Amino acid sequence: MVSTVNHNQSAVLPSQPAAIGRLFLTVEEAAQRLGVTAGWIYERTRRKAIPHRKLGKFVRFTEEDLRAIVEAAAKGTMQ
C-alpha cells in the first residue's frame, strides 16, 4: 500500500497536551487511593475538613488535594 502525504497542509495539533493525564479523581477513586471508605470522604467534605473541588454537584479531588490530606493525617491535624 502506498501512502501519499500532502506537504502543503499544516499539522493539526490537539488542543490539549496528550500527557496532561486525569485532572480530577472521583470520591470512589480518592477513597481507594487513601484506603478509606467513600462515606469517610463524603462526611469530611460536608464538614469542609479535607480539601476538595466542587464541579457543580460533583465532588472531585486533585493529586494535590490527596497529598494535603495525607500530610494532615500524618501530622495529626486532620479534623
pLDDT in tens, 48-62: 999 999 999 999 999
Question: Could you list the residue range(s) of the whole structural domain that residue 59 is in?
Answer: 20-75
The answer to whether position 2 is within a domain reads: no
The answer to whether position 25 is within a domain reads: yes
The answer to whether position 28 is within a domain reads: yes
CATH code, 52: 1.10.1660.10
Residue 18's pLDDT is: 45
Residue 79's pLDDT is: 72
Residue 22's pLDDT is: 73
Residue 44's pLDDT is: 97
Rounded CA separation 28/11 (Å): 39
The answer to whether position 66 is within a domain reads: yes
Alpha helix ranges (H) inside the chain: 27-34, 38-46, 63-75
Q: Indicate the number of domains in the chain.
A: 1
The answer to whether position 1 is within a domain reads: no
The answer to whether position 42 is within a domain reads: yes
pLDDT in tens, 12-64: 555 554 445 579 999 999 999 999 999 999 999 999 999 999 999 999 999 99
Rounded CA separation 69/42 (Å): 14
